[in-house]
């Protein structure tokens, strides 16, 4: 299995990917196939060599103490019912790995409504936040100060304190962190230079001089929690002054738990997360092999919320041809790009008729192994295969893949992607590649010129809308068949809409120079009559009719080269489904009678 280990004390670059034997569960233990790893600030500090008097471990070692994943095996004395369950766990070390061993007493089940990335983000933050707020015994109206409020624990504390009725002041470095704290419920957000006032309770997640200043703001008889050391030292607190003012000072002991207490608090955290009452922000989620980026972000102290390492991906797959019910969202090993390929962290994927036609072909027959679905996507470059030099990590892109776009991570040919324009959302970009590429090719093959009148059958569909916008931009007039509910929208684009159905020839009362059939509803014979020549007609939807009438059929099969976006071309989004509702997205696409494209997004399955 792959692990990431600290090879020596130093900067983030000392984190290296290595191979290690698969772990074996001992008595009272389980082996977890890791999905997501929690990255803690203290891990970056220890990697740099800080705190060696308290943490005597020497490199090489594998860091990481919090994970979420699925139990793959159990040791003696452990209920076999744990096998296959989604869990979160606290481990003694070695968490930056594809598999870990955990004592079952620190393993908790993850509720169905909580994605693994959220469970990992809360497996250590949740118990700490619940413990601190519980010990604070907050009363409604209490004045509370949270330092380090833009971090993962700070944001959870702000949310819980606000839910308890406290008046919360959040102190954080940088506008983004303060904005996140305000979003978590803080009534006031300030920078550290503006620390002032009087507070009943202070949660200090910073330490050092900031913590010392915050301590002096605690009212007589108040409580000061010194649980943070990202500054490199605990808060500068004068014990004599604390005693004189009757301030109770609680240190790291409040966030250090015996196994039974951890399990109780972790189970409560998962319950609160499932109910939507406990959450934190994930500011960075990168694959396991890029752990050094997570450490660098934590060291820079600019990261909002939590950093996570992603070990697995999720993909919509099927094993039997049939209806939409055969689609399942499955956890898979993180795909690795080959030569000339890149991995895309998918933000949105489109549904095309080709997807459900392939899935539904030959119903009841088994596929040759699990099959992915989806050919259009938009997201960010997540990994580069050998020989790829034209892309950089994190670059927003969109394009077409052979299959498997409906996933959190997908492999694409580097040449099949184009930069995503800033003017397009990820969903808008994912809706474009097939429609725009097909429309551009069809208009080229038709020889469309300025002054021509183009008839488009099914102009409200994806290809029809792209072709209409391209044709109008080139100076052509566009007449399009569409359901009447789409006519006002089409007029807004500059299209002259006409209804489907009998009498269509009478409703088209002007000469037609070229025809693009995106409908396949038997209009080819009329199209040839209107255009006067089969060479002036192209269909993308009626191959049988094309062969019979001598009309060109444009299939556009296979992965295409990159299709750059053109300014002004937009694809309406008919409906967006989360990835876990892929079956519903396919059903909606099969129903038809919508304008534009059906999209899926990964917002619930992958933190962004």
Range 126-255 classified under CATH 1.10.390.10: no
Query: Does this chain's domain 315-432+586-601 share its CATH topology with 435-553?
Result: no
For residue range 281-300, list pLDDT tens digits in order: 999 999 999 999 999 999 88
Instruction: Give the pLDDT score at 231.
Output: 61
Strands 86-90 vs 66-74: parallel, antiparallel or unpaired: antiparallel
For residue range 37-50, list pLDDT tens digits in order: 999 999 999 999 98
Please tell me the distance from the alpha carbon of residue 272 to that of residue 411, in angstroms, as a whole number: 36
Three-state SS for 349? strand
Three-state SS for 205? coil
Instruction: Give the pLDDT score at 556.
Output: 58
Instruction: Give the pLDDT score at 558.
Output: 46
Report residue 593 as tokens.
Answer: 């009678």
CATH number of 315-432+586-601: 3.90.180.10
Q: How many CB atoms lie within 10 A of CB 74?
A: 18
For residue range 226-277, list pLDDT tens digits in order: 987 776 677 878 888 889 999 999 888 888 899 999 999 999 999 999 999 9
Instruction: Give the pLDDT score at 561.
Output: 58
Span 435-553 CATH architecture: 3-Layer(aba) Sandwich (3.40)
Cis peptide before 480 (omega within 30 of 0): no
For residue range 111-168, list pLDDT tens digits in order: 998 999 999 999 999 999 999 999 999 999 999 999 999 999 999 999 999 999 999 9
For residue range 478-535, list pLDDT tens digits in order: 999 999 999 999 999 999 999 988 888 889 989 999 999 999 888 899 999 999 999 9
Instruction: Give the pLDDT score at 560.
Output: 53
Percent of the chain with pLDDT over 70: 98
Beta-carbon contacts of residue 507 (< 8 Å; ≥ 6 apart) = 498, 499
Instruction: Give the pLDDT score at 509.
Output: 85
Report residue 193 as tokens.
Answer: 């230079």
- Spans of all domains in the chain: 2-109+280-309, 126-255, 315-432+586-601, 435-553
Three-state SS for 95? coil
The stretch 342-359 carries a mean pLDDT of 95
Q: What is the mean pLDDT of the chain?
A: 93
User: Are 266 and 88 in contact, with CB atoms under 8 Å apart?
Assistant: yes
Beta-carbon contacts of residue 163 (< 8 Å; ≥ 6 apart) = 185, 277
User: Are 53 and 36 in contact, with CB atoms under 8 Å apart?
Assistant: no
Class of the domain covering 2-109+280-309: alpha beta
For residue range 575-604, list pLDDT tens digits in order: 999 999 999 999 999 998 888 899 999 988
């Amino acid at each position: 299995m792959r692990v990431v280990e600290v090879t020596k004390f130093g900067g983030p670059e000392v984190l290296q990917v290595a191979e290690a034997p698969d772990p074996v569960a001992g008595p009272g233990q389980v082996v977890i196939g890791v999905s997501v790893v929690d990255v803690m600030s203290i891990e970056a500090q220890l990697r740099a060599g800080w705190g060696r008097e308290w943490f005597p471990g020497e490199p090489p070692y594998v860091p990481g103490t919090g994970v979420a994943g699925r139990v793959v095996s159990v040791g003696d004395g452990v209920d076999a019912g744990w096998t296959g369950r989604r869990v979160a766990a606290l481990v003694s070390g070695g968490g930056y790995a594809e598999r870990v061993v955990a004592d079952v007493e620190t393993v908790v089940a993850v509720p169905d409504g909580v994605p693994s990335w959220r469970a990992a983000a809360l497996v250590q933050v949740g118990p700490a936040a619940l413990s601190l707020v519980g010990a604070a015994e907050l009363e409604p109206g209490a004045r509370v100060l949270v330092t380090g409020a833009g971090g993962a624990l700070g944001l959870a504390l702000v949310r819980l304190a606000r839910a308890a009725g406290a008046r919360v002041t959040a102190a954080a470095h940088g506008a983004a962190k303060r904005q996140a704290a305000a979003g978590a419920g803080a009534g006031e957000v300030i920078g550290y230079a503006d620390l002032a006032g009087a507070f009943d309770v202070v949660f200090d997640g910073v330490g050092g001089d900031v913590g010392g200043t915050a301590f002096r703001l605690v009212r007589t008889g108040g409580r000061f929690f010194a649980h943070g050391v990202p500054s490199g030292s605990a808060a500068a607190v004068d014990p004599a002054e604390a005693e004189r003012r009757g301030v109770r000072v609680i240190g790291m002991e409040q966030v250090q738990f015996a196994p039974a207490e951890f399990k109780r608090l972790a189970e409560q955290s998962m319950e609160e997360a499932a109910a939507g009452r406990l959450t934190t922000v994930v500011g960075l989620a990168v694959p396991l092999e890029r752990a050094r980026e997570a450490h660098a972000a934590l060291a820079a102290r600019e990261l909002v919320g939590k950093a996570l390492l992603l070990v697995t991906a999720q993909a919509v797959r099927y094993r039997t041809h049939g209806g939409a019910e055969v689609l399942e969202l499955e956890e898979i090993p993180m795909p690795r790009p080959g030569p000339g390929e890149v991995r895309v962290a998918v933000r949105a994927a489109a549904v095309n008729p080709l997807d459900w036609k392939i899935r539904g072909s030959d119903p009841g027959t088994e596929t040759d192994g699990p099959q992915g679905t989806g050919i259009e996507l938009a997201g960010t470059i997540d990994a580069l295969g050998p020989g790829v030099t034209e892309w950089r990590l994190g670059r927003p892109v969109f394009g077409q893949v052979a299959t498997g776009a409906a996933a959190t991570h997908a492999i694409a040919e580097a040449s099949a992607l184009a930069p995503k324009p800033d003017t397009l959302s990820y969903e808008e970009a994912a809706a474009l590649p097939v429609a725009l590429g097909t429309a551009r090719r069809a208009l080229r093959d038709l020889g469309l010129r300025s002054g021509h009148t183009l008839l488009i059958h099914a102009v409200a569909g994806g290809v029809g809308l792209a072709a209409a916008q391209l044709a109008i931009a080139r100076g052509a007039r566009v007449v399009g068949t569409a359901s009447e509910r789409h006519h006002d929208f089409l007029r807004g684009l500059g299209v002259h809409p006409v209804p489907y159905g009998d009498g269509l020839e009478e409703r088209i009362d002007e000469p037609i120079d070229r025809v693009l059939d995106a409908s396949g509803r038997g209009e080819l014979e009329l199209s040839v009559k209107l255009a006067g020549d089969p060479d002036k007609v192209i269909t993308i939807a009626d191959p049988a009719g094309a062969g019979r009438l001598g009309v060109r059929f444009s299939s556009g099969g296979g992965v295409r080269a990159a299709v750059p976006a053109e300014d002004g071309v937009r694809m309406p989004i008919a409906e967006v489904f989360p990835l876990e509702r892929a079956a519903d997205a396919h059903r909606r696409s099969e129903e038809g009678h919508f304008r534009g494209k059906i999209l899926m997004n990964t917002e619930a399955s992958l933190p962004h």
